[in-house]
Amino acid sequence: MAIPLTVIGQEIVRYCGTSTFAVGILGGVLNTLEFFSLRTFRESSCAFYLTIMAFSNIGCLGFSFSPLIMVALINIDVSNTSLFYCKFRRCMSQAFLGISMTCLCLATIDQYFATCAYPRWQRLCNIKLAHRLVIITALIWILHGIPYLMYFNLVLSSTTNTTTCTSTSSTFNYYRNYIFTIGIIGYLPIVIAGLFSLLAYRNIQQLAYRIVPLIRRDLDKQLTTMVLMQVLVCVFTLTPYTTINAVVTSINLTNDPITQMKLQLVLNITLVMYYLYFASPFYLYLCVSERFRRQFIHVLSKIFINFCKRPTIRVNQVIPEP
């Protein structure tokens, strides 16, 4: 029974994980391209948060998910052979994860303020403040990665005689397993984003009764719909892995090998679901927002037209006189 469960878990990561990674990278690039191409999005603080989140999602897939896929495909983990990559990968993974989750929370809070009836709160939604908050967020998560550079090392196992990239500090391990993974990037962003997205949804229902410019009302509805659906995906994709990871971390189940195999299978399934969150935003926006689809077609058309209008260099030949 152990062999089929192990094979099933590897096949799930190999095929589903590879597909998720490929479409996620493509979607992240297209998402970033559209947000940067349209002036409407460039001037919106909420769209700026979504842009940084899209860029961070690419980093999450690249630094966190791709090594797991490599192990499933060819059974090679570079972080177990290179000390630099061992430290660098862990540091960058937590930074991109933290920035992505923080930007999701900032986007939902921004939409709540943008749809409020009080002008004082609406003034908090400006692009300059968004730039500052993103810079502060990036600095905080970069500094947060310093312990990863300090404590992660290549450790030789006395039983298997193999080296693994792991933390050598028990205190830091406790913080990373319980506070950071389960709390800071687990349940905390789900609660914050869920709360403010519901408040923003309530506000958006009242926009029709306020004197609001039509363009701004449409943009607020579009962004609120996109953010709200993103939060729903966040709840359904991040909660299972966070919960299973908390159970596995908190309870010692190493005595029963069959239970271990079952839990590992569940972990593999929920792990792919977890990274599906980082791969899905672009396709989610296409599905839930007709305006986003029109904008995407406009961006692609503009890129195609500019590509076709590229200037060609003509070589002028001078024919000598006879």
Which domains, from first to last, does the chain contain?
A: 2-150+183-300 (1.20.1070.10)
pTM: 0.88
Q: What is the pLDDT along the chain (322 residues), one digit of tens a residue?
A: 445 667 777 788 888 889 999 999 999 999 999 998 888 888 889 999 999 999 999 999 999 998 888 888 888 888 888 899 999 999 999 999 999 999 999 999 999 998 887 888 888 888 999 999 999 999 999 999 999 999 999 988 777 778 888 899 989 999 998 899 999 999 999 999 999 988 888 887 776 555 455 445 677 778 888 999 999 999 999 999 999 888 887 776 656 677 777 788 888 889 999 999 999 999 999 999 888 999 899 888 888 777 777 655 555 555 455 4
Token pair 């609660």: residue = 191
Can you tell me the distance from the alpha carbon of 103 to that of 306, in angstroms, rounded to the nearest whole number?
32
